[in-house]
Amino acid sequence: MASERAIEISQPGLATTVQDRGRIRYYDLGIPQGGALDQYSAELANALVGNRDGEALLECTYLGPVLRAHGSLEVAVTGAPVPVKVNGEERPQWTRLALADGDELSFGYIGGGSRYFLAFSGGIDVPAVLGSRSTYLLGALGGFRGRKLEPGDVVPIGAPANPPPGDTVAEEHRPVFGPQQQVRVMLGLYDHRLTERGLANLTEQEWTLTPVADRAGLRYDGPGVEWRERVQPFGAGSDPSNIVDAGYAVGSIQIPGGTQPIILHRDAVSGGGYAMVATVISADMDVVARAAPGTKTRFVPVDLDTALVARKDRAQRLAAAISSLG
């Protein structure tokens, strides 16, 4: 038993799930993309232990797990700043750590952000479902038995690959987990349904992330917005923020009732009847994923060309961080 490569969960933490790059091509069936919420941090965790990018790892939310190594394993912890402990002794984050058979890995309180990632050399070895090992909780699909980890779970780890020569991600390549964020968005979808003042509130005022934030969506508090008054189209519903149910872009922002904007993230429902007025650009989805409740946020409108440049820039930054490990 002990020679099998696995991790045994002593305490599961608040919401620890298996995630990878995500499950695409099933959105038309209502199955969300899922995947690690902060993909940049997740990919660097994989790179540190020599995994292919997109390998399955653990995503921990706020309160992390306590787990025990079966067999000798290498692990890297990236994402939100958190004290990492091996057998109670503090170890650094953003670096490759060796675990001997029976070693205990545990965590302190996070010092910003909301999610951190644990990649093990060889990856979490659960079956891929519809092309992904990500956990889709609502559908009880993928991941470890389609659910969050629970005490006593023994989670298999795959055969290790060769790790890179470098064992630490330099400071300059690590993301920032601060109390303030600028999130670039593209206006569109149903933004014409807001009044000028509503639109100005969205893009010029400050918004604060509420505690109502999870893998499906993040709800913000602020000055609210105004919807244009009008006769609602047949089938849409009576509130001016209602539309005839439509597909939801991942990253899109809806404002039910005009009060609190909600950013739909990787596990969000795939469609519904609330008007979306802007969409977080793909390069900044990781930024949103790093927000903790209370984070002051400004939504900065950009155009499509700017979004495409930002997308390339993010890819180049990630590639540079990975290649810096050698």
Partner 1 sequence: MSAPQTLPAQARYTWGGDEFLFVEIAEEMSLPGNLRAMGIARALAAKSLDGVVDICPANASLLIRFDPDVVAPADLETTVRELETATQRQSSTVLSTRIIEVPVWYDDPYTREVGARFREGYHQDPSGNDLDYAARINDLDGAAEFIQRHHTNPWIVSMVGFVAGLPFLFQLVGRDKQLEVPKYLSPRTDTPKLTVGHGGCFACIYSVRGAGGYQMFGIAAAPIFDPAQKLADFADSMVFFRPGDVVKFTPVSEEEYRAIEAEVAAGTFRYRIVPVEFDTERAVADPEAYNATLLEVLRGK
Binding residues vs partner 1 (CB under 8 A) = 24-31, 129, 136, 138-141, 146, 185-186, 188-189, 233-238, 242-252, 269-273, 276, 279-282, 304, 307-308, 311
Q: Do the bridges between strand 262-264 and strand 115-120 make them parallel or antiparallel, or are there none, so unpaired? A: unpaired
Dist CA 80 CA 49 (whole Å): 18
Residue with Cβ nearer partner 1 (74 or 284): 284
Dist CA 127 CA 121 (whole Å): 17
Residue with Cβ nearer partner 1 (220 or 274): 274
Least distance (Å) between residue 321 CB and partner 1: 19
Residue indicated by tokens 């802007």: 278
Dist CA 311 CA 40 (whole Å): 12
Q: Are 57 and 42 in contact (CB under 8 A)?
A: yes
Q: Which tokens is 312 given?
A: 């390339």
Q: Which tokens is 265 given?
A: 């993230």
Q: Do the bridges between strand 6-11 and strand 154-156 make them parallel or antiparallel, or are there none, so unpaired? A: antiparallel
Least distance (Å) between residue 179 CB and partner 1: 25
Q: Residue 316 belongs to what H/E stretch?
A: helix 304-323
Residue with Cβ nearer partner 1 (159 or 231): 231
Residue with Cβ nearer partner 1 (101 or 239): 239
Least distance (Å) between residue 291 CB and partner 1: 17
Least distance (Å) between residue 276 CB and partner 1: 7
SS3 180: strand
Q: Residue 67 belongs to what H/E stretch?
A: strand 66-70
Least distance (Å) between residue 1 CB and partner 1: 28
Residue with Cβ nearer partner 1 (110 or 141): 141
Residue with Cβ nearer partner 1 (298 or 311): 311
Beta-carbon contacts of 133 under 8 Å, excluding residues fewer than 6 positions away, are: 18, 19, 20, 56, 124, 126, 127, 142, 143
Residue with Cβ nearer partner 1 (134 or 242): 242
Rounded to whole angstroms, what are the CA distances from 272 to 182, 202, 248? Answer: 27, 21, 7
Residue with Cβ nearer partner 1 (156 or 188): 188
Least distance (Å) between residue 120 CB and partner 1: 26
Least distance (Å) between residue 190 CB and partner 1: 8
Q: Residue 91 belongs to what H/E stretch?
A: strand 89-91
Q: 83-103: string of b/e by CB count within 10 Å (b at 16+)?
A: bbebeeeeeebbbbbebeeeb
Residue with Cβ nearer partner 1 (2 or 244): 244
Q: Do the bridges between strand 104-107 and strand 115-120 make them parallel or antiparallel, or are there none, so unpaired? A: unpaired
Least distance (Å) between residue 245 CB and partner 1: 5
Least distance (Å) between residue 281 CB and partner 1: 5
Q: Give, rounded to a whole angstrom, the gap between the first and last alpha carbons of the chain.
A: 35
